[in-house]
């Protein structure tokens, strides 16, 4: 792993942009291609937005692990949890944050489209954990090699620390 970003966030939409910008900044520094940066940003934003919509008043954690070959996004909430059997199909009316209704339901299918792998888990005693993986591609071979060296350097450092 190159770096793990872990944020415990209140249920305030203002923190979504901070989370997206932190993720974008690191991926740009690593010279990841724009399409992958956008996909990671979208997945982070959509999963965090889902918490705000469906599990308000509970707070949540967003973790993004950056590896040379992939980004792993994990969002954990302590809301009521959900079952896919209860999820309405895309395009159906649903409650809007702050009252009213909206057409929705496209978020999770889009997350599954932009990520390479998505897993959902129940969080004990309640809540949901979503883990999404996105394979990363680099602007050039030099950038890919730099990311691999950073990951190797971190692995060696951790081995030294555990041996001491």
| pLDDT, tens digit (0-9, with 9 covering 90-100), for 38-95 | 999 999 999 998 888 877 777 799 999 999 999 999 999 988 877 766 777 888 888 7
Name the band, by pLDDT with cuts 50, 70 and 90, for residue 164: low
Other C-beta atoms closer than 10 Å to the C-beta of 33 total: 15
Where helices occur in the chain by DSSP H, the ranges are 14-29, 34-54, 107-114, 141-163
pTM of the model: 0.87
* Pick from 52, 69, 72, 53: nearest CA to 118: 72
Q: What does the CA dihedral 30, 34, 39, 43 come to, rounded to 10 degrees?
A: 50
pLDDT for the residue numbered 76: 93
CATH number of the CATH domain containing 111: 3.30.565.10
| pLDDT, tens digit (0-9, with 9 covering 90-100), for 12-38 | 888 888 988 999 999 999 999 999 999
Mean of all residue pLDDT scores within the chain: 88
Number of domains making up the chain:
1
Q: Is the pLDDT of residue 143 over 90?
A: yes
- CA separation for the pair 94, 37 (Å, rounded): 30
| CB-CB contact of 79 with 51 (8 Å) | yes
Residue labelled with tokens 């932190």: 22
Enter the tokens of residue 119. 């897993």
Domain containing residue 123: 3-163
Other C-beta atoms closer than 10 Å to the C-beta of 132 total: 25
């Amino acid at each position: 792993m190159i770096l793990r970003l872990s944020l415990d966030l209140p249920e305030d939409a203002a923190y979504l942009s901070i989370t997206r910008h932190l993720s974008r900044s690191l991926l740009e520094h690593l010279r990841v291609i724009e399409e992958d940066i956008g996909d990671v940003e979208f997945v982070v934003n959509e999963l965090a937005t889902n918490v705000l919509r469906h599990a308000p008043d509970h707070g949540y954690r967003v973790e993004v692990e950056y590896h040379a070959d992939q980004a792993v996004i994990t969002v954990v909430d302590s809301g009521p949890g959900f079952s896919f059997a209860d999820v309405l199909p895309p395009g159906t009316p649903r409650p809007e944050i702050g009252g009213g209704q909206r057409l929705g339901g496209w978020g999770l299918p889009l997350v599954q489209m932009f990520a390479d792998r998505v897993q959902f888990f129940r969080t004990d005693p309640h809540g949901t954990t979503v883990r999404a993986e996105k394979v990363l591609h680099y602007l050039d071979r030099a950038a890919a090699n730099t990311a691999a060296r950073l990951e190797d350097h971190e692995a060696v450092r951790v081995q030294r620390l555990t041996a001491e």
